[in-house]
């Protein structure tokens, strides 16, 4: 079993939803993934112990998820950073981190997207469908931004992102 980036996206979506009940069909539409892809992602997340089954419900395993996001994610899903492009702000250029950093002279990291309103340096999203899913869910967007800062940010950005991420995961727990 190999963990895939969409598996992390699915678990982050579950965190963003709180304890709201869900079905595979509904969640697949929310994340813009096929139900079979979603089912496979949940199965891998369970095997990796990023999620657990509590009766008939699958929920994030917050302790393991936090440990993986803080200490392992940046080594497993290394972001590709590149050329100037139009996109959606991420990392230190997006909420909730944006308030902690003065606008720098260097370009902001962005997920490349035609519908994006910001020009910046390309930063590959955790999963290709993540930006579209994030646009319709502000809580998921914030979690993905924090994850990106951990994946590819500088030490100060990572430190603040880790604190913010821990607050959100504690709120879920």
What pLDDT shows up at residue 101?
85
Specify the pTM. 0.95
81: CB partners within 8 A, 6+ apart: 109, 121, 122, 123, 124, 152
Q: Alpha helix (H) ranges present in 18-154?
A: 24-31, 35-47, 62-71, 73-76, 130-135, 138-152
Chunked into runs of 10 residues, the chain (173 residues) has average pLDDT values of: 95 96 95 95 98 96 98 96 95 94 82 91 96 95 98 95 97 84
- What's the CA gap between 19 and 135, in Å, rounded? 21
- What's the CA gap between 11 and 22, in Å, rounded? 12
Q: What are phi and psi of 140, to 5 degrees?
A: -65, -40
What pLDDT shows up at residue 104?
66
Structural domains in the chain plus CATH codes: 5-74 (1.10.10), 79-172 (no CATH)
């Amino acid at each position: 079993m190999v963990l895939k980036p969409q598996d992390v996206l699915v678990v982050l979506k579950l965190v963003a939803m709180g304890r709201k009940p869900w079905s595979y069909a509904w969640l697949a539409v929310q994340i813009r993934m096929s139900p079979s892809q979603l089912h496979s992602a949940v199965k891998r997340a369970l095997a990796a112990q990023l999620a657990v089954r509590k009766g008939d419900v699958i929920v994030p395993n917050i302790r393991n998820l936090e440990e993986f996001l803080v200490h392992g994610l940046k080594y497993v899903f290394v972001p590709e950073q590149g050329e100037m492009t139009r996109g959606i702000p991420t990392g230190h250029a997006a909420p909730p981190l944006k308030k902690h950093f003065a606008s720098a002279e260097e370009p902001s990291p962005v997920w490349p997207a035609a519908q994006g309103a910001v020009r910046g340096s390309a930063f590959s999203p955790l999963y290709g469908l993540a930006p579209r899913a994030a646009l319709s869910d502000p809580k998921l967007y914030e979690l993905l931004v924090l994850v990106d800062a951990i994946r590819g940010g500088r030490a100060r950005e990572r430190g603040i992102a880790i604190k913010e991420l821990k607050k959100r995961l504690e709120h879920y727990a």
